[in-house]
């Protein structure tokens, strides 16, 4: 499968924030979000073709490079959209068999039965739609594919999960609340709201109004700590 990068970092979002993890970024996505911060795995997918055994070998090497005496024990499969990959089931099986905790980062448009400890689902709202000029033919495809509540419902019924929404404006809360009615409202503590942005200043500004809204609606605020720690850089 096409892999854009494999690297060691700390999980910057969600319930495992701070956990040293090997990130395996598959290249290729079925969406084209306007705010995508990994265009090299979506808009212009690049990378190296690697077999499952080569990926697993690289995961071991990367985990062993953890600066503490112990190797990293967590692997995050991310993208792009890793659920698009034909051999993703085999890759999950092999990584799990090697003893790693596996997190799958997905936009929740594709269901597959696979070995995974945490399904980290980030359904894309209307604020993800790309500008018409930039997107060309992708605008219609993006809009028709991004909203798959039946798939998200199946994922949360089948896996330990977290549900992450990217929030741009306070008005997005109405769309999230409506969305949750379509997927049979899950445990609200597992609904995480993240500020949209790739700069520390704009994230801090959004935080000012988003935290009170999370408190009001019993959602969990989800900072994007990797931006604070490393900036918006590849390999972090």
Minimum distance, C-beta of residue 121 to ligand SF4, in the bound complex (Å): 11
Minimum distance, C-beta of residue 59 to ligand SF4, in the bound complex (Å): 20
76 belongs to the binding site for ligand SF4 (CB under 6 A): no
Minimum distance, C-beta of residue 143 to ligand SF4, in the bound complex (Å): 13
| Stretch near ligand SF4 under the rule CB under 6 A, chosen from 16-24, 64-72, 78-86, 92-100 | 78-86
Binding-residue total with ligand SF4 (CB under 6 A): 12
Residue showing tokens 């099986």? 93
| Stretch near ligand SF4 under the rule CB under 6 A, chosen from 1-9, 77-85, 113-121, 157-165 | 77-85
Fill in the per-residue mask, 191 to 210: x = in contact with ligand SF4 (CB under 6 A), - = not in contact.
Answer: --------------------
Give which of 131, 148, 129, 127 is closest to 195, Cα–Cα.
127
- Distance separating alpha carbons of residues 117 and 102, to the nearest angstrom: 5
Between residue 85 and residue 144, which ones bind ligand SF4 under the rule CB under 6 A? 107
Q: Which helix (H) or strand (E) holds 8?
A: strand 2-10
Determine contact, residues 199/188, Cβ cutoff 8 Å. Answer: no
- Rg of the chain (C-alpha set): 17
Between residue 17 and residue 46, which ones bind ligand SF4 under the rule CB under 6 A? 29, 31-33, 36, 38, 41-42
- Distance separating alpha carbons of residues 53 and 38, to the nearest angstrom: 25
81 belongs to the binding site for ligand SF4 (CB under 6 A): yes
- The structure tokens listed for 97 are 């068999």
| Stretch near ligand SF4 under the rule CB under 6 A, chosen from 73-81, 198-206, 211-219, 224-232 | 73-81
- Distance separating alpha carbons of residues 28 and 170, to the nearest angstrom: 31
- Which residues share a beta bridge with 161? 119
- Distance separating alpha carbons of residues 66 and 216, to the nearest angstrom: 40
79 belongs to the binding site for ligand SF4 (CB under 6 A): yes
Q: Please report, as ranges, the residues that interact with ligand SF4 according to CB under 6 A.
A: 29, 31-33, 36, 38, 41-42, 79-81, 107
């Amino acid at each position: 499968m096409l892999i854009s990068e494999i690297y060691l970092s700390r999980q910057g979002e969600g319930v495992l924030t701070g956990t040293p993890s090997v990130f395996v970024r598959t290249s290729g996505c079925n969406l084209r979000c306007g705010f995508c911060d990994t265009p090299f795995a979506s808009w212009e997918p690049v990378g190296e073709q690697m077999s499952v055994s080569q990926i697993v070998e690289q995961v071991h090497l990367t985990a062993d490079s953890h600066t503490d005496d112990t190797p990293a024990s967590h692997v995050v499969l991310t993208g792009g959209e890793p659920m698009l990959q034909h051999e993703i089931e085999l890759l999950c099986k092999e990584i799990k068999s090697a003893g790693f905790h596996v997190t799958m980062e997905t936009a929740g448009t594709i269901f597959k039965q696979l070995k995974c400890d945490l399904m980290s689902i980030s359904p894309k709202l209307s604020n993800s739609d790309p500008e018409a000029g930039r997107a060309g033919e992708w605008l219609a495809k993006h809009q028709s594919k991004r909203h798959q509540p039946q798939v998200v419902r199946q994922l949360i019924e089948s896996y330990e999960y977290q549900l992450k929404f990217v929030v741009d404006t306070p008005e997005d809360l109405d769309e999230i609340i409506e969305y949750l009615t379509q997927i049979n409202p899950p445990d609200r503590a597992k609904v995480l709201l993240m500020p949209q942005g790739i700069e520390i200043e704009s994230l801090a500004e959004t935080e000012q109004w988003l935290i009170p809204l999370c408190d009001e609606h019993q959602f969990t605020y989800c900072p994007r700590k990797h931006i604070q720690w490393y900036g918006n850089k590849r390999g972090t």
